[in-house]
Amino acid sequence: MANKYYVIRDLKKQYAKLLGLYVHAERKVEKAKGLKAIDAATTEVAAAREQLRRQMDAITATIQTSYDPNWTPKGIKPIRPTVTGNHGDLSAAIYRTLKTSDDPLSTADVIQRVAELLSLDLSDRELKNHVRSSTTNLLKARVRDGLVVQSERPTRWSRAPRPTPVAAASANTLPTPWR
């Protein structure tokens, strides 16, 4: 059987993710335009929140009945849901895009290809702004690391060339006391 500590830790993490989804569910209503759209979004959010509440109650019951009867979710902070998938998906898609490209790409081209790879709907302005700022920040950080090359205006991005390995023959040309 799994260690009690790790089971409770994983259940708490799952609870925090569900709580984050619960807290951020209202955004769908905020984005709705028109009375019918707001009503439909409100009904959908209420149903989603009810399902999330049932899942959180099930996690609470599991922890209390199987592991710690005094446990309460009061200290759990919500984990904000990510908009681009799992952690690292966006950067992996950016690297894949640069790797498969023969020519340097503009930021808009990188964003468009990444959106296709991750099946993102860029018609949502908030998501598009998030992807644009995340992509730009990641590319600039990788320029500092030497993994990506940035051209001057207009800005184009490409993968940095791999360093050539030192040939074994040239490494052995140094004078040694045994020669």
- The string of pLDDT tens digits covering residues 21-80 is 888 777 777 777 788 878 888 888 888 889 989 999 999 999 888 888 888 888 888 887
* 2 band by pLDDT with thresholds 50, 70 and 90: low
Residue appearing with tokens 């302005």: 125
Q: How far apart are CA 33 and CA 77, in angstroms?
A: 31
5-19, 48-62, 146-160: which range is least confident on average?
146-160
Residue with token string 């503009």: 106
pTM over 0.75: no
pLDDT at 24: 79
Task: Kindly state the average pLDDT of the residues 6-12.
Answer: 87
Q: What is the CATH number of domain 89-159?
A: 1.10.10
Residues 6+ apart with CB under 8 A from 97: 105, 110, 113, 114, 117
To the nearest 10 degrees (0 to 180), the angle between helices 125-145 and 107-118 is 110
Q: For residue 178, name the pLDDT band (cuts at 50, 70, 90).
A: very low
| pLDDT number for residue 170 | 55
Q: Residue 69: CB partners within 8 Å, gap ≥ 6?
A: none
Cβ-proximal residues to 154 (8 Å cutoff; 6+ apart), any chain:
106
